[in-house]
């Protein structure tokens, strides 16, 4: 990978991470890197042109294609930035569509990677300009390890949610065993199988922070959580991958049990804390990757979350503290995992 391509990769990864951009596939232009994000009714697009031959795209196809994206995402206005990274003396032709239209603003920027300078109108792009200058450093780019931009934000729709299905199977198996042992609503059975009960945790039974997420009180409890887990878990597993999904689910479940331990003294069990953790992880992903999740999807997640919290606070029989703990655990663990992976 040459220096120009390294520069494009580094800046793109940073924009995806810190400014919530997503990779955009530009049909028929495989050598062109493009990023997109939606902010309300505004569409923001950044095109990286590393090859002079790609200028044909800007000459003849860019404006119609941008309007196509606007219609697809139902945006009223677009801000387009064309970035041309290169070395001193490699500035491309300035005759590329630019300026301000009624619904579109197009800017062209040239980056001298060796000199660390940015040419073009950056009056409305100060944050981007700072980032472009920061990475215009040959020695830094030579040490930089490129990343797969698609991998750090991709939702693998074809992947089967194997872990999610195994968790549901384990939950069903534990419910059957508890039913055979005297009933899943029997307090004694619940405690014997590992439900959260603070006095026993204080005596050293710390494994009760883990076991409650696999136990359920009654058939309806199991059925509702299995349905929620199948839908939210399947999506979260496709987004984060199996191993990160296991970590998020486990951390959320333990955090839910910990909050239950801190704030309640009743016997409690269920996967609700871990499921709320999946909600938290999906909310974080939706906030960081709006180009992958439509705005309406994130809004629906928030609606589901608020409804469940309202039901929890309205019903004294529901351990809402476990929900809050799981939500926090899922959101924070997802954030840490994505940060550590460079996404």
Q: Which among 323, 333, 341, 343 is annotated as catalytic?
A: 323
Tell me: pLDDT of 290 over 80: no
pLDDT at 128: 84
Q: Are 281 and 236 in contact (CB under 8 A)?
A: yes
pLDDT tens by residue, 29-43: 666 678 888 777 888
- Nearest-angstrom CA–CA distance, 152 and 240: 9
Residue with the bigger pLDDT between 114 and 194: it is 194
The most confident of the ranges 49-63, 103-117, 132-146, 173-187 is 173-187
- Nearest-angstrom CA–CA distance, 190 and 215: 8
The reported pTM is 0.58
Q: Does 123 participate in catalysis according to the annotation?
A: no
Spans of all domains in the chain: 3-143, 162-340
Q: Does 323 participate in catalysis according to the annotation?
A: yes
pLDDT at 3: 83
Residue with the bigger pLDDT between 333 and 149: it is 333
Residue with the bigger pLDDT between 149 and 290: it is 149
- Nearest-angstrom CA–CA distance, 184 and 200: 19
Residue 336: which residues within 8 A CB-CB, separation 6 or more?
Answer: none
Mean pLDDT of the chain: 81
Cα 183 to Cα 54, 211, 219, 297: the distances in Å are 68, 17, 10, 39
Residue 202: which residues within 8 A CB-CB, separation 6 or more?
Answer: none
Q: Which among 184, 272, 333, 343 is annotated as catalytic?
A: 272
Q: How confident is the model at residue 81 (pLDDT cuts 50, 70, 90)?
A: confident
Q: Are 287 and 236 in contact (CB under 8 A)?
A: no
Q: Which two tokens stand for residue 107?
A: 């800017």
Mean pLDDT lowest for which of 156-165, 281-290, 296-305? 296-305
- State whether residue 148 is helix, strand or coil: coil
Q: Are 301 and 249 in contact (CB under 8 A)?
A: no
Tell me: pLDDT of 340 over 80: no
Q: What is 162-340's CATH superfamily?
A: Rhomboid-like (1.20.1540.10)
């Amino acid at each position: 990978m040459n220096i120009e391509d390294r520069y494009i990769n580094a800046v793109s990864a940073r924009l995806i991470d810190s400014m919530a951009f997503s990779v955009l596939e530009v049909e028929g232009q495989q050598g062109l890197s493009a990023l997109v994000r939606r902010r309300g009714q505004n569409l923001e697009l950044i095109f990286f042109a590393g090859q002079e031959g790609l200028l044909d795209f800007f000459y003849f196809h860019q404006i119609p294609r941008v309007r196509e994206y606007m219609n697809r995402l139902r945006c009223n206005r677009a801000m387009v930035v064309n970035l041309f990274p290169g070395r001193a003396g490699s500035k491309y032709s300035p005759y590329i569509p630019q300026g301000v239209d009624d619904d579109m603003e197009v800017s062209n920027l040239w980056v001298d990677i060796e000199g660390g300078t940015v040419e073009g109108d950056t009056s409305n792009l100060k944050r981007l300009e700072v980032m472009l200058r920061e990475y215009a450093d040959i020695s830094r780019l030579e040490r930089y390890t490129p990343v797969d931009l698609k991998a750090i934000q991709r939702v693998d729709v074809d992947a089967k949610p194997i872990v999610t299905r195994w968790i549901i199977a384990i939950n069903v198996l534990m419910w059957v065993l508890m039913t055979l042992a005297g009933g899943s609503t029997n307090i004694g059975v619940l405690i014997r199988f590992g439900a959260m009960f603070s006095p026993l945790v204080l005596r050293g039974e710390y494994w009760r922070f883990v076991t409650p997420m696999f136990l359920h009180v009654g058939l309806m409890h199991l059925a509702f959580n299995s349905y929620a887990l199948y839908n939210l878990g399947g999506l979260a597993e496709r987004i984060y991958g199996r191993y990160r999904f296991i970590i998020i689910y486990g951390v959320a479940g333990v955090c839910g049990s910990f909050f239950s331990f801190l704030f309640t003294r009743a016997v409690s069990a269920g996967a609700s804390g871990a499921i709320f953790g999946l909600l938290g992880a999906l909310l974080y992903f939706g906030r960081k990757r709006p180009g992958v999740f439509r705005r309406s999807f994130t809004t629906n997640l928030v609606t589901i979350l608020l409804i469940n919290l309202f039901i929890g606070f309205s019903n004294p029989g529901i351990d809402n503290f476990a929900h809050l703990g799981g939500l926090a655990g899922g959101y924070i663990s997802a954030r840490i995992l994505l940060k550590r992976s460079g996404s």
